[in-house]
Amino acid sequence: MAGNSTRGQIVEAADELFYSHGFGQTSFADIAAAVQISRGNFYYHFRTKDEILDAVIDKRLADRETLLAKWDETSDDVLRRIECFVKIVVVNQAKIMAFGCPVGTLTAELAKLDHPSRERANSIMALFRDWLTRQFEELGCKENAAENALHVLGWSQGVATLAQAFKDEAFVQREVAQILAWVDEAIPESAG
Amino acid sequence: MAGNSTRGQIVEAADELFYSHGFGQTSFADIAAAVQISRGNFYYHFRTKDEILDAVIDKRLADRETLLAKWDETSDDVLRRIECFVKIVVVNQAKIMAFGCPVGTLTAELAKLDHPSRERANSIMALFRDWLTRQFEELGCKENAAENALHVLGWSQGVATLAQAFKDEAFVQREVAQILAWVDEAIPESAG
DNA sequence: CCAGAATTAGGACGGTTGACCTAATTCTGA
DNA sequence: TCAGAATTAGGTCAACCGTCCTAATTCTGG
């Protein structure tokens, strides 16, 4: 499962190709060529394209879980943790401007394909939603923690979509600042 | 160019198929089958897949221009016009929950394909942006009309993305109400 | 050292794709 | 009416797709 194993390399290459070119437009040959292995070797590790997709989704889920867990560990300030999330769109600005959000675009593509793994892909989005919900709960939001989480998540998705369409760095900076300001205002009075 | 001509029927079917299944996953045969014509007839009207895409983009551009022009004509209340735009996501809720926003998802897909018509697809998004900018200017926003336009457009895109992922009607209703409330607050004091 | 498992290489398959062609049919205007 | 243009039908093509197979090679434990 490590990144230097053949299987790991395949999943890593597939992950990037699915992101940069889309799942449907990435062929077995594309991935095999990226890893520089034969198609037969490829077939030994993954018998169908759907199996690769599932492995990629697993990797993306694990990667995001690791990232969120790291934030949970390294910072006991809730606002700072939420800030880390919101700023993903700035940290990964170049890639997002080129290919959009990896989670949002995969979700959209699999929906159009009516793909069996559609729900599994959505669970990455749900991972963010649930993590954000926990942050807002910790922030003191009682009933509307889930609503706030969806708000921030949706807002971020919108920023990513327009970032890709218009490549407007100032827009991204502005919106991120606005989201953070909104989060500040979302702190209940009882907290603070 | 009319909808009942063969060419018009092809473009209409392609428009819907590109939306519901994606451009890359829609084949010549799919479109021909939807219109119930032979592949040869199809080839007479469109020699390449890219030609169909361009025609679909033209149709979408024209459709949106017509829609925006209708709003401009039928209502001289700027707030009401912006409301019409924001509520697209409610009016088309069912389709958006199934396939996302037609404009946003096409933009995202063509970016991944690095398709020549990518910029033309983006111009549909730009059409919305520019129209919204004009509305905010008319609302009295001097310098930040363009920023407000991008804000509302991006917000709507985010709502569409999450609507597709989570199929949460209440979320859509909530966000639309929030956007409208935000627009109200965006009115400069000199106006009102 | 060697047997057997794990891994890799690369050919082959049926099906589909976008693209192209020719022939038949229908429409249109002089 | 009829010649020519416009349109439709359907076959064909090479290339590529995902999938599957067998044979060669490398790794591993006893």
pLDDT tens digits, B38-64 = 999 999 999 999 999 999 999 999 999
Return d(Cα B129, Cα B151) in angstroms, integer.
9
What pLDDT is attached to residue B189? 77
Ramachandran area for residue A165 (φ above 0: left; ψ -120 to 50: alpha; else beta): alpha
Instruction: Quickly count: other Cβ atoms within 10 Å of residue B147's Cβ.
Output: 18
Amino acid code (one letter) for A108: A
Q: Give residue B98's pLDDT band: very low, low, confident or very high (50, 70, 90).
A: very high
- The residue count of chain A comes to 192
> For B163 and C30, how far is CA from C1' in angstroms?
60
Summarize the confidence of residues B91-100 as an average pLDDT: 98
CATH 1.10.357.10 fits A57-186, yes or no: yes
- pLDDT per position as a tens digit, B136-150: 999 999 899 999 999
A191 secondary structure, DSSP code: -
Calpha distance B184→B140 (Å, rounded): 12
Q: For residue A1, what pLDDT is reported? A: 42
Asked whether the predicted pLDDT for residue B190 surpasses 80, the reply is no
CA R_g for chain A: 18
Residue B59 CA, distance from chain mean position: 11
**Assigned token pair, B169:** 């009607």
pTM, to two decimals? 0.95
User: Which class would CATH give B1-47?
Assistant: mainly alpha
| Model confidence pLDDT, tens digit, residues B100-115 | 999 999 999 999 999 9
Q: What is the pLDDT of residue B2?
A: 47
Distance from CA of B54 to the nearest CA of A (A): 18
CB A155 within 8 A of CB A108: no
Provide the number of CB pairs (under 8 Å) joining chain A to chain B.
Answer: 124
Closest CA to A145 of A183, A192, A89: A183
pLDDT of residue A189: 77
Residue A22: closest C-alpha in chain B: B112
> Does residue B1 carry a pLDDT above 70?
no
Q: How many CA atoms lie within 13 Å of B28's alpha carbon, on the beta-carbon side?
A: 14
- Smallest Cβ–Cβ distance between B164 and the set A21, A108, A159 belongs to A108
Residues 24-63 of B with CB under 7 A from strand C: 26-30, 39-40, 43, 47-50
Distances (CA, A) of A75 to A82, A84, B155: 10, 10, 29
Instruction: Select from B6, B107, B114, B117 the least CA-distant residue to B54.
Output: B117
Q: Which amino acid is at B93?
A: Q
User: What was the pLDDT predicted at B27?
Assistant: 95
Average pLDDT on B75-99 reads 97
Q: CA-CA distance, B20 to B115, in Å (whole number)? A: 19
Instruction: Summarize the confidence of residues B86-90 as an average pLDDT.
Output: 98
B147-188 pLDDT, tens per residue?
Answer: 999 999 999 999 999 999 999 999 999 999 999 999 999 998
Q: Which segments in chain A show pLDDT lower than 70?
A: 1-3, 190-192
Are A36 and A9 a contacting pair, CB within 8 Å? no
Are residues B1 and B8 in contact, defined by beta-carbon separation less than 8 angstroms? Answer: yes
Q: How far is the CA of A38 from the C1' of D6 (A)?
A: 51
Contact criterion met (CB < 8 Å) for A25 and B113: yes
The overall average pLDDT reported for chain B is 95
- How far is Cα of residue B180 from the mean position of the Cα atoms in its chain? 19
Partner-chain contact B157 A155, CB within 8 Å? no
Mean pLDDT calculated for residue range B9-35:
96
The Cα–Cα gap between A122 and B166 comes to 8
Q: What is the pLDDT of residue B3?
A: 60
The answer on pLDDT for B69 being more than 50 is yes
Q: Letter for the amino acid at A32? A: A
Cα A91 from Cα A106, distance rounded (Å):
20
How far apart (Å, rounded) are the C-alpha atoms in residues A9 and A1?
9
pLDDT for A63: 98
Residues of B in contact with A156 (CB under 8 A): 158
Strand D atom within 7 Å of B6 CB: yes
**From its phi and psi, is residue B59 left (phi > 0), alpha (psi between -120 and 50) or beta?**
alpha
Domain locations in chain A?
Answer: 1-47, 57-186
Distance from chain centroid for Cα B55: 15
Q: Six-digit token pair at A156? A: 């971020």
Residue A80, pLDDT score: 97
Residue A102 has a pLDDT of 98
Can you give the pLDDT at residue B191? Answer: 55
Q: What is the mean pLDDT of residues B119-142?
A: 97
**pLDDT at residue B88 in the model:** 98
Q: Which residues of A touch B171 (CB under 8 A)?
A: 147, 150, 154
Distance in Å from D30's C1' to A44's CA comes to: 27
| Amino acid present at B139 | L
Residue-wise burial string across A48-71, b where 16 or more C-beta atoms lie within 10 A, e elsewhere: eeeebbbbbbebbbeebeeebeeb
